[in-house]
Structure 1
Amino acid sequence: MATKVLVLGGGSGGLVAANKVKRLLGKEVEVTLVDRNTHHEFMPAYPWVAFGMREPEDIRRPLANLEKRGIQYLQATVEALDPAHNKVKTTAGELAYDYLIVSLGAEAMPSPAPDGHAPWSMAGALRLREALKAFKGGKVVVGVSSPYYPCPPAPYEVAGQVEFALKVKGVRGKSTVEVFHINPAPLAGMGPVISGKVLEILKSKGIAFHGEFEPVAFEGGRVKAKDGRELSYDLLILVPPFAPNRVVRESPLAGPQGFPEVDRMTFRSTRFPNVFVIGDTVNPALMLPPAGVVAHFQGEYVAGVIASDLKGAYIGEPFNPVAMCIMDFGDNALLPQCAFDRVLAGTGMPSCGVMAVGKWVRVTKMLFEGFWFATLIE
């Protein structure tokens, strides 16, 4: 009888994990992926939708395509986890499993700025697109509302892309673009080399950066910081706050802070050995960035661990602790890389550096978009 592997979440980590475990074990496993959405969307391309470089249909594929790969897809919302009895409650009924991979992501909270735009969802990207069409020039401010949010480079990329979009629109001369962040420097956790390079690119585009700017109020077209500083804006782009996923937070997997407790080297639950948690659902608790590339590598790794469990010998691959991110600034791009092996081992900070800078780097992101769909869901 086939082993039942249940994957919760059709984002980066879940999609990779489902494909990998099926490729490794074939008919030995019955793989089911559950997601409330009908489509998988290439999230790094949301800003491209906002700035008119892509249409929604360009960056999404039906999750039902997984059926062609021997993976069952169930459209349902996960309501509760019962790891003590190997069951998951969904809006489509109760599901049993032998192995569970949880990749439900983080939970977006209400934005503290009702007039803010957040192009980190399809709806948010389309809303910003309409706002940019009507924008005739003025003050653009990009910022974050909390230190915890998916894709740490996102606000800097969007600031660069909106600056480029204003150039194309012909209103750059009548506009200013500013970025604020709670941290003292861009991508401070990646070290001074990457921070310095991001600051250099922002400066070259005439974008001002405001560090250690902790927003406490948004009113009347102004954002106020805890230390008294203020920025005025005509167009606000704000990353909303995120919290640990509610379903996981309320489950027996969760620790005191709401994040699941897992082994740092295997992402296996410390309480339930047949449960793995990957991606934004757990990474902040592991001091790993909540980024798609990390979830991608975690998905590959836990699929190998499950295959090894069933085969009785290790047949997977070592976890790849190196994360790369193509930061698209519109008319320039940066490719930073960080190794997180010391972070996972609890022995130090990540080792980071710059792999490449230049307009051509943007092309690699576009090529990867096509590769992603072709290898996972087409």
Structure 2
Amino acid sequence: MQKKVLILGGGSGGVITANKLVEILGDQVDVTVVDRNAEHTFIAAYPWVAFGLREVQQIRRPLVALQKRGIRFMQAEVRALHPDRGVVETDRGELDYDYLVVSLGAEPLPSPVEGAQAPWSEAGALAVRSWLRESQGERWVVGVASPFYPCPPAPYEVAGQLDFALRVKGLRSRSSIEIFHMNPAPLAGMGPVISHAVLKILKRKDVAFHGNFELAEGGDGVLKAKDGRTLEYDRLILVPPFAPNKVVRESPLAGPGGFPEVSPETFRSLKYPNVFVIGDTVNPALGLPPAGVVVHYQGEYIAGVIAADLRGAYIGEPFNAVAMCIMDFGDDAILPQCDFTEMLAERGMISCGVMATGRSVRIAKMLFESMFFATMFG
């Protein structure tokens, strides 16, 4: 008898999990992906939209294409989770399941500074592109509003890409770029090797970094930190604060801070054994970065865990606790690697290093985008 696997979220985690389940278990499972959007968006490419390297439709694929792989797709809004009853409430009715995979991501909260933009959504990316089109040379500031946001390297990448874009337009000598963060150094959680590599690129690009800058308030062209420091700007690219998806943080799955409590070994809910939570919805609470590469490995892994439940032996991919994420600075790139194995086992710290640098590394990021679409959607 087929087991029903319901996957909430058509982002990277949901799409990868669905494909892996069908690959491993075939017709033993009835897999359904639910998302309010009709299309999957490769979110990591939104800055490329902002800087003109991609158009919006180039980074999207219709989720209905999953049906060619034997995966059902339902476009619906998830309204509530009822794991005690084994159902999910949507605007198209209730859906039951034998296994539930929650990959709804993180939810952006309102920006604390009016007029700021963030190129990690369609509207934000197109707004930044419009700024560039109109630019005559301004004071640009890039920063973050809270410690929790998807893709920790993203603000640094955008600052680097902005420098490159302004140089191409011949406006860099009339423009300034500054970046601020509440951490003392860029990507401080990844250690001094990565911080030094990023700082070296920022320095070469004449991008000033302001560490330990915790935003207190902003508006009318001025940002103020809690310690009293100020930054003046004409254009503000600000990552808004994020929280676990509202449906999740208001559900019985929620734990401290709204993050579900799961096993760090299997990502299985500690309260409901047939529920798994992956991605930005849970990773910050586990000490894992809210990044696409992590949810990619989680999706492959939990497909094998579910298969082990059904077949009695683990036959899938081991969880890869080593994350590699190419940082694209426009005319330069870094490929760092971080090993979270010891941290997850509570035996030690994260270990990070730089695997490669240089412009050619950017090509790998573009190739991965193409490979992802081809592998997941055909």
1:74-125 deviation digits (Å, cap 9, x = unpaired): 0011111111111000111100000000000011100011111100111211
1:321-340 deviation digits (Å, cap 9, x = unpaired): 01011100000000011011
User: Contact 1:288 / 1:343 at 8 angstroms: preserved in 2?
Assistant: no
User: Contact 2:114 / 2:219 at 8 angstroms: preserved in 1?
Assistant: no
Deviation at 1:342, TM superposition (A): 1.3
* One-letter identity of the residue aligned with 2:165: A
**2:3 & 2:127 partners in 1: Cα distance?**
44
* One-letter identity of the residue aligned with 1:247: V
Partner of residue 214, structure 1: 214
Deviation at 1:347, TM superposition (A): 2.0
1:330-369 deviation digits (Å, cap 9, x = unpaired): 0000001101111211222211000000000000011111
Unaligned runs of 5+ in 2: none
* One-letter identity of the residue aligned with 2:195: S
**1:30 & 1:274 partners in 2: Cα distance?**
15
For 2:84, what is the secondary structure of its paired residue?
helix
Partner of residue 262, structure 2: 262
Unaligned runs of 5+ in 1: none
* One-letter identity of the residue aligned with 1:316: G
Partner of residue 74, structure 1: 74
Partner of residue 61, structure 2: 61
Deviation at 1:276, TM superposition (A): 0.3
**1:38 & 1:126 partners in 2: Cα distance?**
20
**2:170 & 2:338 partners in 1: Cα distance?**
37
RMSD: 0.7
Deviation at 1:282, TM superposition (A): 0.3
**1:86 & 1:346 partners in 2: Cα distance?**
32
Q: Percent identity?
A: 67
Deviation at 1:317, TM superposition (A): 2.0
**2:201 & 2:177 partners in 1: Cα distance?**
13
Report matched runs for 1:211-290 at 5 Å: 211-290=211-290
Report matched runs for 1:1-378 at 5 Å: 1-378=1-378
* TM value normalised by structure 2: 0.99
For 1:262, what is the secondary structure of its paired residue?
coil
Deviation at 1:256, TM superposition (A): 2.8
**1:314 & 1:243 partners in 2: Cα distance?**
33
* One-letter identity of the residue aligned with 1:346: E
**1:246 & 1:264 partners in 2: Cα distance?**
22
For 2:14, what is the secondary structure of its paired residue?
helix
**1:30 & 1:123 partners in 2: Cα distance?**
35
**1:123 & 1:67 partners in 2: Cα distance?**
29
**1:122 & 1:33 partners in 2: Cα distance?**
22
Deviation at 1:257, TM superposition (A): 2.0
**1:361 & 1:14 partners in 2: Cα distance?**
27
1:49-93 deviation digits (Å, cap 9, x = unpaired): 000110111111000100101000000111111111110001111
For 1:257, what is the secondary structure of its paired residue?
helix
* One-letter identity of the residue aligned with 1:212: N
For structure 1, which segment, 31-40 or 345-354, has the greater mean C-alpha deviation from structure 2 after superposition? Answer: 345-354
For 1:85, what is the secondary structure of its paired residue?
coil
User: Contact 1:182 / 1:213 at 8 angstroms: preserved in 2?
Assistant: yes
User: Contact 1:324 / 1:338 at 8 angstroms: preserved in 2?
Assistant: yes
* One-letter identity of the residue aligned with 1:147: P
Deviation at 1:247, TM superposition (A): 0.8
* One-letter identity of the residue aligned with 2:200: E
**1:257 & 1:137 partners in 2: Cα distance?**
42
For structure 1, which segment, 341-350 or 198-207, has the greater mean C-alpha deviation from structure 2 after superposition? Answer: 341-350
* One-letter identity of the residue aligned with 1:75: Q
Deviation at 1:174, TM superposition (A): 0.3
Point out 4+ residue stretches in structure 1 off by more than 6 angstroms.
Answer: none
Deviation at 1:177, TM superposition (A): 0.6
* TM value normalised by structure 1: 0.99
**1:70 & 1:252 partners in 2: Cα distance?**
31
**2:19 & 2:238 partners in 1: Cα distance?**
34
**1:198 & 1:324 partners in 2: Cα distance?**
15
